[in-house]
Chains A and B, each alone.
Chain A
Amino acid sequence: MESLSQKLTVLKKILCQAYHEKENINVGDQWQLNVMRRIRNLGPVQSGPSFFVLFEQFVWRLTPATCLLIIIGAIIFLKLGFFPDYDVFTLFINDTEELSLAQLF
């Protein structure tokens, strides 16, 4: 009895040969006509890049600048201590007589 590896080698050779034995298909004139009909329905091709392609290129080009702006903005907010909720809360705690919650809204 042949070993497993020998069987595998034989099977691989047969399957490899079977792959190359695939017969070519000949298409008729009707197939050509169908392709050309579809092409004509699509109309002339656009010679330049489409609006979406240009828009995509534009957006990606601006990405580094946008990221930089976001980082700078975040740093500025942190430096200025822009915490509106915290400021209102501090004001409310420290000056209860002058400021009621109703005045805030």
Chain B
Amino acid sequence: MQNHPSRPSDAEIIRRIIDGDVNSFEYLLKKYQDHVLRIVTKHIPHNEVEETAHNVFVRAYQALPGFKEQGSFKQWLSSIAVRTCYDFWRKQYRSRELPMSYLSERHRDWLEKTLSNESDLSFSEKSRAREAGELLEWALSKLSAKDRMVLELVYLEGFSVKEAADLLALSVSNVKVRSFRSRKKLEKILIALIST
């Protein structure tokens, strides 16, 4: 694809930044902020999205000299965004500051109604319910940071094992094993929840 003559290419902007023109980074920030926010919103709780996206751009700025011009900047930035989300969960897991360590009666009632066909809501209405999102968050919070990210990328977002491995900077075999194990772990969590 040919670049617009008036718009500089990403590579050109990056060269300018590396040469000391810090303000040129604003161009990349404006161009890719929606893309980064979309990635971060998928993986991080809403109240932490702005700060995490902020950190993504700071990390990208600091790592710019290591960017190889042969690859796509968007892909490179996506990888930084995913790894920043992974670091967020790693810190949370280490400090055990999990967003929700138990389920309330409200969640249990919703689950019971939803699974026993008592609910009159359609499938999409059920999935849009606040309880569905919170229940998913609760189940995912039981997994380690790495398991969680692999599961989200491979099973929930539909990335291939190779793509997930590239984004997380892990080996393909590691992601393959981890994605299988994490899915089994999540199933166990959900079975225990349904059975009680």
Binding site for B on A (CB under 8 A): 1-2, 4, 7-8, 10-27, 31-32, 34-36, 38-40, 42-49
Contacts and interface: CB of A to CB of B under 8 A. Distances in A.
A8 B187 contact: yes
A45 B53 contact: no
Nearest to B152: A19
A42 B57 CA distance: 12
Contacts of A2: 115-117
A43 B42 CA distance: 31
B187 A45 contact: no
B62 interface: yes
Main secondary structure of the interface of B (DSSP, over half): helix
A25 B49 contact: yes
B195 A4 contact: yes
Contacts of A32: 26, 29-30, 33
B96 interface: no
A39 B136 contact: no
A35 B62 contact: no
Nearest to B133: A18
- How many of chain B's residues touch chain A, expressed as a range? 35 or more
A15 B37 contact: no
A96 B151 CA distance: 77
Nearest to A46: B65
A66 B65 CA distance: 32
A34 B127 CA distance: 35
Contact of A7 (B29, B115, B156): B115
A95 to B, nearest CB: 64
A15 B115 CA distance: 12
B191 interface: yes
Contact of A8 (B23, B25, B41, B191): B191
A36 B41 CA distance: 21
Contacts of A34: 54
A32 B29 CA distance: 8
Interface string B154-195: 011000000000000000000000000000000100110011
A47 B129 CA distance: 49
Contacts of B11: none
A21 to B, nearest CB: 5
